Structure 1
Amino acid sequence: MRRGRGKRKAELTEVPPASRRRTEEEEAIENARRRAAPSVREFKYNKKRVRLVSQGSELKDDARCILYWMCRDQRVQDNWAFLYAQRLALKQELPLHVCFCLVPKFLEATIRHYRFMLRGLQEVAQECAELNISFHLLLGYAKDVLPTFVAEHGVGGLVTDFSPLRLPRQWVEDVRERLPEDVPFAQVDAHNIVPCWVASPKQEYSARTIRGKIHAQLPEFLTEFPPVVRHPHPPSCPAQPIAWEACYSSLQVDHTVKEVEWATPGTAAGMAVLKSFIAERLKSFSTHRNDPNKAALSNLSPWLHFGQVSTQRAILEVQKHRRNYKDSVDAFVEEAVVRRELAENFCYYNENYDSVQGAYDWAQTTLKLHAKDKRPYLYSLQELEQGTTHDPLWNAAQLQMVWEGKMHGFLRMYWAKKILEWTRSPEEALQFAIYLNDRYELDGRDPNGYVGELQDGGRGWEALAVTAKAAVGALQAAPARSALRPHPTCSLGACEQGGELTLVSLCWQAACGPSAAFTTRAGRSGPSLARSAT
């Protein structure tokens, strides 16, 4: 590898022009990054976060730039993959390019998800421009468009981020096969705090078995980020302007599932949600996160899913309040780190993560034992999707997911268990649950959705056959009242705090009384999603 000569170091600490005034919290975070290091070049980067995808590791002598292929982690700052790419570019005194490959469709994603993603990428493109880094939006699958980009721009090294899911892993393999042999290709786990392949070398059985491994490695990996700085080596070929609205014509997705109003895309909006969580809801997280009446959840899942906010940043900020809210901080670490990384582990080491065949042996045995149990009700996918079952609580939870792209974790468990109870087989139940979750939830198509939680409280268990003993017992109807019996004052609705939706409660009136109909914020009639006074 060519050695950098350390020129123009003064430019590394330049403050990029701000398109808006930073908040005090943003200034504090930026100062923390600079205390960690002036730039990633001076930072002691943990190479355990990186693994080589290609055989070669040496950059060719005639390299003209370094390329970061952004996939899962769609942000600039607090992004270990972006930082690693800039580190290579700074050391080699080369320009840095970033590209995103916009595929026409992805599993059950709809225009709701694509608009959230693309509006977030617009923020990424703007920030890259302010940092003298070219951002390119390539239309098509990476295997078809990325090798051409590499050849035309003289890319000397390629860096990408990491996903444990089947399709993104295949994309990486497809690109690897088509890259020139003299272009090193590295992958960085920028989504997890402890890299997935480092956290454990095997599939873990439960949160109990992975918890100790995660906590033992947090001191090494839960560090402050250095800043992505204004790049001192300008691109010889600047990026072409992106016609963002025209990009939508390339999509082959359902346009009937509309955007939601409560979740503003992008890192800035996601960080505002984190700020409001810490200021208003963190204190209640340990005691009320399972209570649909209370505003106690972080509501960060859409921004974490699209990589617009770093889980590591969220933990760093939440931990600052451990002295005052120890139990809540510990509970948040359990949910956001241990259980999220358990889901990553499951999907990474189990190729059948989205099928009943991927379930643990005990779960498969129990499912088989009860496969022929009599179902009190059987519903089609259409009936479930439209929320027309006999159960008003389930219907309201389902319709909130359809309209708002979110469901309280406490009710996700109830929702999933009933799908198992109301369908012909565990296979059909899992198929329906994944379809509905991936089509409507903003954070669908995620390891957490396939694996879910192993106990009450948290994000839920869409793939319930894989994840919860409660789902694989005898299929007896659980009355709606019993599901919310601990919360007898539950009112129907959701509220807004600080501009983002905070789920407070769902459907006690729908489950227990006749006066449950009202109009949603968008003017649609149906089970209530009206704003409460809180």
Structure 2
Amino acid sequence: MKERIKYLNDKNVNVKGKYVAYWIQASQRTKYNHALELAIQKANQEQLPLFCFFGLTKYPAANQRPYHFMLEGLQQLKISLAKRKILFGVAKQSPDDLAISIAKNAKLLIVDCGYLRIQKQWRKKVADSIDCQFIQVETDVLVPVEQASEKEEWAAKTIRPKIQSLIKYFAKELNEEDLQKKMDKLPFQEYDISNIQKCIDDLDVDKSVSIVQQFKGGEIEAQTRLQEFLNKKLKNYAKNRNDPSLNATSNLSPYLHFGMISPLNIYLEAMKFPASDSRDSFLEELIVRRELSMNFCYYNDLYDKYEGLPTWAKNTLQEHAKDKREYIYTLEQFEKAKTHDVYWNSAQFEAIHKGKISGYMRMYWGKKVIEWTESPQQAFEYLVYLNDKYHLDGRDANGYTGVAWCFGKHDRPWTGRKIFGNIRYMIDSGLKRKFDTVQYVTSVNQLKKQQQK
């Protein structure tokens, strides 16, 4: 589909090359991967072999937790590609430098799409440095960002009609084509990822955050979780999704983060179920809210900075910056869940021991940090740090947009109050009206014990 394709350079398409290469970066899967299918198609058209590669490097703010999850997925990806007779290799090298090296002998280089600064910087560096054609394929959203909107959108209500008008066009089944010519040997020294702990040691990443037991990486696990959610939880999703004690959500965000599952795949599977408020609610989160996040990060380069917030939000927070705080906590106290609030502590313990906070509690978790820090700027820094360090689905557009939402992004002004000004406020009594808070705290305590064994 041409709307998913973007040419990142204007190099001569007639350049000679020994192969077509697909740089797998954001979309670590074989199922419903438009970039992979285009790479196969182009290889067959040129009667050249195709190979796929991944550059393994230290990623900003990532520790052993996301690396372990990702490496489990890459091990599985290698097997899945081999079943389709496609060679795949990992190199312990910066992805951009690896891609530049591989492109020297390539007829064509294809890459998937990333929305964050570092991902865009990698792609620009490669585009400026290689002589073969360089194509980006957007496959981790249902509606490509630039097709949905040409600008940063104000809120869900402004992007929703634009996305909804295009869903039917983009929600197409993706046909798989067999590769005709195979490569026998990778054109670089392959890095062995069979021993995950050794890989983590080699990368010398932070090991202070534990590997979680609740999530196993890979597209097979993602598909299993999808079917479990659709068959057991979807029918009650609208009613239960904001009750963290019920585990009623899909838990697919870590898999979407690493591109181990496609939102198109999820959408098509969900549409097999009868229309309902629950199905609509789930698809609103999957498509409108998630793709609003991509829109924010794509068009606003300050997505993870306080300066990137809406002017009205910064103004109202500044007006109340000197308001007296009843509690002020250090980053260390937040990190160790040592506040006076048992519900906030439970949310942080979820992050520590599960690698993911339930959606409704994640909002409460963020709002309270604003209330208990010396300034809104400090609160923003703390939340980005905690989001990136503990959440398997942190360090992505959804995570950064979730932090920004706590400060008014994609929201409207509310009745003014101390510290928050016109920013939406949350209070523990609101939690008690929504769900069984005692059961939630109990379930998190059980999770702590399981993880600590």
Fold-level match, TM-score > 0.5? yes
Question: Equivalents in 2 of 1:274, 1:461: separation in Å?
Answer: 28
Counterpart selection for 2:151 from 189, 198, 202: 202
How do residues 220-369 of structure 1 correspond to structure 2 at under 5 angstroms? 220-229=169-178, 231-238=179-186, 242-244=191-193, 245=195, 246-323=198-275, 326-369=276-319
2:287 aligns to what SS in structure 1?
helix
1:417 aligns with 2:367: yes
2:182 aligns to what SS in structure 1?
coil
Distance change >3 Å, CA 384–CA 470, structure 1 → 2: farther
Instruction: Give the match for residue 118 of structure 2.
Output: 167
Q: Deviations over 1:345-375 (max 9, x none)?
A: 0111111111121111211121111111111
Question: Equivalents in 1 of 2:415, 2:32: separation in Å?
Answer: 38
Question: Equivalents in 2 of 1:437, 1:336: separation in Å?
Answer: 20
How do residues 484-503 of structure 1 correspond to structure 2 at under 5 angstroms? 484-487=432-435, 489-492=436-439
Question: Equivalents in 2 of 1:207, 1:314: separation in Å?
Answer: 20
Distance change >3 Å, CA 461–CA 294, structure 1 → 2: farther
1:507 aligns with 2:436: no
Instruction: Give the match for residue 76 of structure 1.
Output: 30
* Alignment size in residue pairs: 444
Question: Equivalents in 2 of 1:213, 1:259: separation in Å?
Answer: 40
Distance change >3 Å, CA 461–CA 331, structure 1 → 2: farther
Question: What is the Cα deviation at residue 463 of structure 1?
Answer: 5.3
1:76 aligned partner, one-letter code: T
Report if the CA contact (8 A) 2:212-2:451 is conserved. Answer: no
1:259 aligned partner, one-letter code: I
Which stretches of structure 1, 4 residues or more, deviate above 6 A after TM superposition?
none
2:441 aligned partner, one-letter code: C
Report if the CA contact (8 A) 1:419-1:429 is conserved. Answer: yes
2:246 aligns to what SS in structure 1?
coil
Distance change >3 Å, CA 83–CA 393, structure 1 → 2: same
Question: Equivalents in 1 of 2:133, 2:372: separation in Å?
Answer: 51
1:145 aligns to what SS in structure 2?
helix
Distance change >3 Å, CA 276–CA 140, structure 1 → 2: same
2:115 aligns to what SS in structure 1?
coil
Question: What is the Cα deviation at residue 491 of structure 1?
Answer: 3.9
1:397 aligns with 2:331: no
Higher relative contact order (CA 8 A, sep 6+): 2
Distance change >3 Å, CA 59–CA 99, structure 1 → 2: farther
1:98 aligns to what SS in structure 2?
strand
Distance change >3 Å, CA 478–CA 295, structure 1 → 2: closer
Higher helix share: 2
Distance change >3 Å, CA 241–CA 370, structure 1 → 2: same
1:522 aligns with 2:451: yes
1:138 aligns with 2:91: yes
Q: Deviations over 1:269-295 (max 9, x none)?
A: 110000100111000111211122333
1:384 aligns to what SS in structure 2?
helix
How do residues 45-56 of structure 1 correspond to structure 2 at under 5 angstroms? 46-56=1-11
2:183 aligned partner, one-letter code: P
TM-score (normalised: structure 1): 0.79
Question: What is the Cα deviation at residue 474 of structure 1?
Answer: 2.9
Question: What is the Cα deviation at residue 198 of structure 1?
Answer: 1.1
1:211 aligns with 2:160: yes
2:134 aligned partner, one-letter code: F
Counterpart selection for 1:474 from 414, 418, 438: 418
Distance change >3 Å, CA 475–CA 509, structure 1 → 2: farther
Counterpart selection for 1:436 from 386, 389, 393: 386
1:125 aligned partner, one-letter code: K
Report if the CA contact (8 A) 1:100-1:138 is conserved. Answer: yes
Report if the CA contact (8 A) 2:353-2:448 is conserved. Answer: no
Question: Equivalents in 2 of 1:266, 1:128: separation in Å?
Answer: 13
Largest Rg, 1 or 2 = 1
Instruction: Give the match for residue 63 of structure 2.
Output: 110
Question: What is the Cα deviation at residue 486 of structure 1?
Answer: 2.7
Question: Equivalents in 2 of 1:285, 1:471: separation in Å?
Answer: 30
2:200 aligned partner, one-letter code: Y
Question: Equivalents in 1 of 2:41, 2:177: separation in Å?
Answer: 9
Report if the CA contact (8 A) 1:465-1:472 is conserved. Answer: no
Question: Equivalents in 2 of 1:391, 1:264: separation in Å?
Answer: 31
Distance change >3 Å, CA 473–CA 416, structure 1 → 2: farther
Question: Equivalents in 2 of 1:405, 1:228: separation in Å?
Answer: 37
Of 51-60 and 431-440, more deviation after overlay is shown by: 51-60
TM-score (normalised: structure 2): 0.93
Report if the CA contact (8 A) 2:41-2:177 is conserved. Answer: no
Alpha carbon RMSD of aligned pairs, Å? Answer: 2.2
Percent of aligned pairs with the same amino acid:
35
Question: What is the Cα deviation at residue 77 of structure 1?
Answer: 1.7
Question: Equivalents in 2 of 1:389, 1:407: separation in Å?
Answer: 17
Of 271-280 and 256-265, more deviation after overlay is shown by: 256-265
1:192 aligns with 2:141: yes
Report if the CA contact (8 A) 2:65-2:392 is conserved. Answer: yes
Distance change >3 Å, CA 59–CA 252, structure 1 → 2: farther
Question: Equivalents in 1 of 2:418, 2:431: separation in Å?
Answer: 17
2:327 aligns to what SS in structure 1?
coil
Question: Equivalents in 1 of 2:153, 2:88: separation in Å?
Answer: 38
Report if the CA contact (8 A) 2:78-2:88 is conserved. Answer: yes
Question: Equivalents in 1 of 2:377, 2:12: separation in Å?
Answer: 44
Instruction: Give the match for residue 88 of structure 1.
Output: 42
